[in-house]
Amino acid sequence: MLGVYFSGTGNTRHCIEVFVKELDKLAKCISIEDEEVIEKIDKNNFIVLGYPIYYSNSPKIVRDFILDNKESFKGKKIFIITTMGLFSGDGTGCSARLLTKYGAEIIGGLHLKMPDCIGDVKLLKKTLEENKNLVEQADEKIKKSSNSLKNGKATQDGLGIACHLVGLFGQRLWFYGKTKSYTDELKINLEKCNGCGSCVRLCPMGNLSMKNGQSISGQKCTMCYRCISNCPQQAITLIGKEVYEQCKIEKYI
C-alpha cells in the first residue's frame, strides 16, 4: 500500500498519513511532487490517493498528474480521500471517473471536512478551537473508515450518481471556469514583499520567480494557497485583497 497526496496547507497530507497508518503502520506516503512518486506507484497495487477540493472539483495539478501518468494507474486498486472546507458532493468522484477510464479499480472514497485554507476571505473562518475540533472529528472519521475498509466494507463518499449531481449542480457547474485551467490571478503586494523567496521555493507549479529582488507571479497558479499561508509578510493574495489567516495544519494538531 502507498499513500499519494497533493496538499497545499497540509490538511490532505495529514489525513492521508493518518488513514494509511491505521491500515498499515509500515506503509509510506508520498507527495505527487516527489520525483520518485511514479516509481513507487508502479511498485504498489493499492494506492490511497488524497487531494483538496476547490469549488467541488479536483485541483488542476491533480488532474494533470493523473492524465500524465495514466498508464501507471492501470490495474491499481485505489481508495480516494478528499478534504474540503464546506462540501463537495462528488469530490472523490471527480478523480474516480477519470481513474476508472484509465483502468483503475476504485475501492472506496472518503470526504473529510477540514479547516478552510482560503485565508484571504472572511467566509468560513473559524476560531482556532473550532478548527482543532474539525481536525479531531476528521481523525475519528478516518479511523472509522479505515476499520470499515479492513472489514471489507469501504466507505463510498462521493462515488454515486446522486453525489455526482450534488457536486455538479451545487458548485462545479457554476464555478467550472475557476478550476478548468490554472489561474493568473495570484497577486503580490510589492510594498510588503521583502524578497525572501520562500514562496518561490514552495510553489508546486514553479509559478513564482524572483525579479529585481522581489517575487513575481506567472500564469500557472493551481490555487493551493501554500505561498499565501507561508509568506512571512502576508504579501500574497488570490481571491481576496487581504490575508485574514494563514492556514497550516501545524496550527491545528
**Tens-of-pLDDT digits for all 253 residues of the chain?**
999 999 999 999 999 999 999 999 999 999 999 999 999 999 999 999 999 999 888 999 999 999 999 999 999 999 999 999 888 899 999 999 999 999 999 999 999 999 999 999 988 789 999 999 999 999 999 999 999 999 999 999 999 898 888 888 877 877 777 788 999 999 999 999 999 999 999 999 999 999 999 999 999 999 999 999 999 999 999 999 999 999 999 999 9
Class of domain 2-179 as given by CATH: alpha beta
- Domain extents for the chain? 2-179, 187-251
pLDDT at 224: 96
Grid cell of 108 as nine digits: 472506496
- pTM (two decimals): 0.94
Torsion of CA 206, 210, 215, 221, to 10 degrees: -20
Find, among 179, 202, 142, the residue nearest to 62 by Cα: 179
Supply angle C-alpha 42, 50, 118, rounded to 5.
145
Q: Is-contact 236 188, C-beta < 8 A?
A: yes
pLDDT at 178: 77
CATH pick for 187-251 out of 3.90.1150.10, 3.30.70.20, 1.10.10.10, 2.30.42.10: 3.30.70.20
* Domains 2-179 and 187-251 equal at CATH topology level: no
